[in-house]
Structure 1
Amino acid sequence: MAFNLSRRLAAEALGTAFLVATVVGSGIMADRLTNDVALALLGNTLPTGAILVVLITILGPISGAHFNPAVKLVFALRREIEANAALAYVAAQVLGGIAGTLLAHAMFELPLLQASQTMRTGSGQWIAEAVAAFGLVFTILAGLRFRPEGVPWLVGLYITAAYWFTASTSFANPAVAIARAFTDTFAGIRPIDVPAFIAAQLVGAIIAMAVAGWLAAEPKPKTSANLEPEAAQ
């Protein structure tokens, strides 16, 4: 079933809003409930992975459930979406993400407008974001190629793992990075650190597109010239 562009954009905005509200809100809750940073990170990780499974499952049939400008860039480069539509998706994702941050603040009775002071910078962080985005995009593309019905779980599980094996806790999403600059809570990132995160994410996504395009390409049909001598006889 094909949905019109306005509904697809609304689905992307709504999904990104709920994703960011989960990231920021679970971070606030975890930070309030424990002084153990590792336990707080776990309390931030599990809800994020879980909400991704839910959101991709229910909104995927409407919009593709990307919630991520880096993913949308990849699909535009693959010519699976027009450039103008891709830009509209990115705008919806960014605005939805910021709305999700404001919603989390409202739920926890915090000032709605904030600027994060959490420093996240340095080569390790940038490499981690490139790796995080690479893994996410590769998971999506390979999942769509081999196990399309499993993509919601694959993405949710990948992000759950990437929270812990990347130095940056795996933002892997420019819209999420921008939205997290608007919260001075557990999940925040300084606005000045966001551009480098986004650049790393886009680089990782584009490399993943190239690798997945080669690694998961349709095998060429065998001809008699390719067969082993005994098989050709």
Structure 2
Amino acid sequence: MSFENIKAIAFDADDTLWVNETFFRDAEVAFAKHLAAYGDQDEIVQKLLDTEIKNLDTYGYGIKGFTLSMLETAHRLMGKKMNAETIDFILNKGKQMLAEPVELLPHIEEVLGQLSKKYKLVVATKGDLLDQERKLIKSGLIDYFHHVEIVSDKKETQYKKLVKHLDIQPQEFLMIGNSLKSDVIPVLAMGGHAFHIPFHTTWSHEQVDEEINHSKFKALKSARELLDIL
């Protein structure tokens, strides 16, 4: 496979550049334990997931929407027994998540430093604008990137707009991320290249039961492999 025509490389942020999903999984467990009197852990986590998915069109992705979904789920489970203690617990959990330090994934800074000498690098991520901007600044990576695109969702339409903004053709674009659903499938559909670097934890809403067999797709084990390919 030739990558000579690639001009721009876009990186997903959460769980591609830095750790993110782990904080959500830990918060889910803490939430379920706090509400243990109202169901077992798996049932409560599933109710929270259902609420999150229902609210995506309203709140979008990110910690703030997750916090609001925790409040809604707690109210559905507790009803009139919802109290200040539970509200404080949920709000504090959300603020704690927002204040978490940014932990870069292995080899990321080395890879960005090398690739930025040859390619136009872009961050293409979804989520809350303020939170993603905060994490990008705290990460110390912002100077490696030519452009930052924070969107409400990542589908083929958004990628086409990004490619147009970068003034390149789809075949000159490479997307790198941990989600087949958001970072790979829509990019391949528009004619771009896509590399998948899995993270050990993936939100169930992002999981797909699909094997990708495409000439412009590669599955990698770590970001370090990019330097051997590009």
TM-score relative to the length of structure 2: 0.23
* Higher share in helix: 1
* Higher share in strand: 2
TM-score relative to the length of structure 1: 0.23
